[in-house]
Amino acid sequence: MARKSPTSISSSCAICSGSNLASICASCVNYRLNEYNSSLRASRRVSVSLYQKIERKLEAKKKRDEQVEWRVIQNEKIAKLKARLRFLEEQLLRDKAEVAEGSAVLKVKSESLDSAFSALRKHRVELLEKFYRNLNCSQNLGLMVITSELLHKQSVVIQQISKFFPMRRVISDGDIKDGLSGSYDQICNARLPRGLDPHSVPSEELSVSLGYMVQLLDFVVPKLAAPALHNSGFAGSCSRIWQRDSYWNPCPSSRSKEYPLFIPRRHFCSSGEETSWSDKSYCNFGVASVNSERKPHLDSGGSSSFNYSSALSTFHGDSQGPSKGYITA
């Protein structure tokens, strides 16, 4: 039997096409199945594309709905905020009106109170001038008398202290023993050093004069009620650089600004190297050395270059004049 070509195969053979029944031969059945499969695939592709298109449209519609809903919510919030803003503005206007009214009332009351206080002060002054004029005058006069008496007693005390510690300026032509000449300040016949030079007077006279000066300060400062930057004590004294809290505070705010007045011999200053006073760095105030020359000032007979007896006699002679009551004054 001859083989049929593909073109010769139609939708059905002569038997199947001639009959009114379904295809019964294998070739017709396969053809029908292939045709049906192709139509199913085409329908599936169309349905998939339509489904994707529908999904895209649904997604776009969902986004549009969400945007519309968000806009609606935001519009509602904006409307609520605008209503709240209008309410707050109205409340602010009411509060401002109340504050203005209250301030006006307070201003009127304060003006009335000021006028009442001024009238009371004026009336009080008139009463004082009328009934207590003599009392005010007597109190003022008493205060003036007390002040003048205090100043007089203070001057008397200072005069008595100056008799205990007489000071004067002398001009020396030179002594045979010490060879010092020029103008000097003396306290109780003891010469004070010239400026910051401790070698301008002999060492024993320097110690005596500085001791007298320390005692004079101890007497004068409490009587005048004046602050002092110098503290004296047993076996020495010290001075401090002026500071804001140095007037009434006995202790310095910084120990580095406290300078001893009497320096031990082992801590001597020199102009060629840095020195330390009690392990602190200090300047030497322009003095090359505070060490006295090692020369014998006292001879074998016990006499010295400074006459202590004259100073003591002057001191005791001056102390006979003032009364003993000035110490408690």
Q: Per mean pLDDT, which range of 13-22, 53-62, 196-205, 251-260 is the poorest?
A: 251-260
pLDDT band for position 241 (cuts 50, 70, 90): low
Average pLDDT value over all residues in the chain: 72
Burial (Cβ within 10 Å: 0-12, 13-18, ≥19) of residue 92: exposed
Mean pLDDT of 76-84: 96
Distance between CA atoms of residues 240 and 253, nearest Å: 10
Residue with more model confidence, 210 or 52: 52
Q: Determine the Cα angle at 298 with ends 293 and 300, to 5°.
A: 135
Phi, psi angles (nearest 5°) of residue 69: -65, -40
Tokens 């406290």 correspond to 258
Is a pLDDT exceeding 70 seen at residue 287?
no
Query: 208 pLDDT exceeds 70?
Result: yes
135 pLDDT higher than 90? no
Range from 10-14, 303-307, 323-327 carrying the lowest mean pLDDT: 323-327
Cα–Cα–Cα angle for 159, 172, 175, nearest 5°? 125
- 29 burial via Cβ count (<10 Å: 0-12, 13-18, 19+): middle
* In the predicted structure, residue 269 carries a pLDDT above the cut 50: no
User: How much is the pLDDT for 206?
Assistant: 82
What's the whole-number mean pLDDT along residues 167-180? 69
Helix runs in the chain, H state only = 14-18, 26-131, 133-164, 203-224, 308-319
Q: What span, in angstroms and rounded, lies between the C-alpha atoms of 157 and 163?
A: 10
90-104, 123-137, 216-230, 315-329: which has the minimum mean pLDDT?
315-329
- Alpha-carbon span 201 to 215, nearest angstrom: 19
pLDDT over 60 at 167, yes or no: yes
The sheet with strand 182-187 has its strands ordered as: 167-172, 182-187, 190-191
- Residue scoring higher pLDDT (92 or 134): 92
Q: With residue 232 as reference, give the H or E element that holds it.
A: strand 230-233
For helices 308-319 and 133-164, the axis angle rounded to 10 degrees is 150
Judge residue 5's burial from the number of C-beta atoms within 10 Å of its C-beta, 0-12 exposed, 13-18 middle, 19 or more buried: exposed
